[in-house]
Amino acid sequence: MQRTIIADCPKKVGEKVEIYGWVDTKRDHGKITFIDIHDFSGQIQVVGSGEDLSALKPQYVVKVEGVVQKRPPEMVNEKLKTGEVEIKIDKVEVLSKADELPFDLGMGTLDLELPTLLDFRALTLRHPKVKAIFKVQAKVLEGFRKAAEEIGCTEIIVPTIAASQTEGGAEVFKVDYYGHKAFLTQSPQLYKQILIPVFERVFTVTKAYRAEPSVTTRHLSEVTQMDCEIGFVQFTDLLDLLEKVAVETIKYAESECEEILDSLGHKKIAFGKIPRLTLREAQEIIKKEYGRDNTKEKDLTPQDEQDLCKWALEKHKSDLVTVTHFPTAAKPFYTKPDPENPKLSLSYDLLFRGVEVLSGSQRIEGYDQLVESIKSRGMNPKDFEMYLMAFKFGMPPEGGFSFGLERITMHILNLANIREASLFPRDMERVDIRFSKLVK
């Protein structure tokens, strides 16, 4: 007999079916046992009697043969897509047993502390509400690629082992590379720029690494970046493009995951016209509306970001805000200073629901200016030989931007900690298993 997926069972009333899945919950009513079983497509109630059934426990993997039957009207479960039917069991076969669970996976919400959630990651990911996070994440990825292709970008694969630090700073992981010193890339930045004279417009989904020696709710040591880089553009074109890609990415995930998001109590994202502010303008709004004078600061504070998003939602019905013109000295060496005021740069952040999820800039395209900028940050141009080669041989005006996949996922779903938005998060406390728990 062929497998029937659970979602198809309501179409097969009166027919014999074979389903495969995991035991969720079991309810023994004297002689009769009710069992909820799920596969990737949904959940269904199966009913029967006997020792075989009583022996089943949560997370057992089973093959069930039985007949699909209508439930009596008073037994219909309207919350379940298959709630009008159930399967009367003829035969059940256990394909794989499970140890007793350390917590109840059958509850509507998995109410665990974060360390426990991660200590048992192989198990907690199976909970419907945890799993749902990564269904949404998969659609963010797909949405980004569609949006990037739509603006003419070619997909590129960039290396993650590099000889130089992309962004400067000490927060870099060292790799022993055949006895030579190498680093895990802090971003795909240098490589996507090298490829502008090859493809003009490129995108990549790749890993970036930061040896961040602190534990916060919004940083991971290994993240997924979704990057675009675009040739022959000027600053305002870039702002148009990044907003277009951001909106299409998020809209796609929201529309593809409508049902999942509804089940998680999702608040619809507001896509009003995105306000564009310089950092200074943003700080003036903070001062005027929220009474904090941060107009001398080099960046927005986390509280500023939250308030600015609140303001944008109220005044512009937008969950997104673009902020531009951060101080040149606070940005990476490849960021182009504004020719009209070189202390400020042609840079931008995109804020989404209270946090920065994207950043980017117009880049320096002139070789000499770039070499000077590298030196001014105390770095050695010799370490950027391959990168600089691209600028020796004809580089157009260009710019780009970079989304953090986990950050976007976190804020679409209103998660409290970015670790919840990574299947297997990496931070200074663990690599799957907590270091403090390791006995070596």
Residues 305-344 contacting its own copies, CB under 8 A: none
- Contact segment (CB under 8 A) with its own copies among 179-187, 240-248, 267-275, 310-318 equals 179-187
Contact call for residue 161 and its own copies (CB under 8 A): yes
**DSSP calls for 214-270:** S--SS--SEEEEEEEEEES--HHHHHHHHHHHHHHHHHHHHHHTHHHHHHTTPPPPP
Give the helix/strand (H/E) hosting 349: strand 347-352
To the query of whether residue 356 is one of the catalytic residues in this protein, the response is yes
From the number of C-beta atoms within 10 Å of its C-beta (0-12, 13-18, 19+), residue 215 rates as exposed
Contact call for residue 151 and its own copies (CB under 8 A): no
Q: Which residues pair with 324 in a beta bridge?
A: 278, 348
Contact call for residue 390 and its own copies (CB under 8 A): yes
- Contact segment (CB under 8 A) with its own copies among 29-37, 194-202, 313-321, 336-344 equals 194-202
Contact call for residue 405 and its own copies (CB under 8 A): yes
228: left (phi over 0), alpha (psi -120 to 50) or beta: beta
Q: What is the pattern of x (binds its own copies, CB under 8 A) and - over residues 36-75?
A: ---xx------------------xxx--------------
Report the alpha-carbon distance of residue 265 to residue 261 in Å, rounded: 6
Angle in degrees, CA 15, 16, 22, rounded to 5 = 120
Nearest Cα residue to 340 out of 274, 278, 275: 278
To the query of whether residue 212 is one of the catalytic residues in this protein, the response is yes
Contact call for residue 431 and its own copies (CB under 8 A): yes
Q: How far is the CB of 297 from its own copies (least distance, A)?
A: 30
Q: Please pick, from the candidates 27, 28, 111, 159, the single residue that binds its own copies as defined by CB under 8 A.
A: 159
To the query of whether residue 210 is one of the catalytic residues in this protein, the response is yes
DSSP class of 271: B
Catalytic hit among 359, 361, 373, 422: 359
Contact call for residue 224 and its own copies (CB under 8 A): yes
Contact call for residue 191 and its own copies (CB under 8 A): yes
Contact call for residue 141 and its own copies (CB under 8 A): yes
Catalytic hit among 149, 150, 155, 212: 212
- Contact segment (CB under 8 A) with its own copies among 78-86, 176-184, 245-253, 296-304 equals 176-184
How far, CA to CA in Å, does 110 sit from each of 81, 107, 262, 412? 22, 6, 18, 19
To the query of whether residue 407 is one of the catalytic residues in this protein, the response is yes
Catalytic residue numbers read 210, 212, 218-219, 356, 359, 407
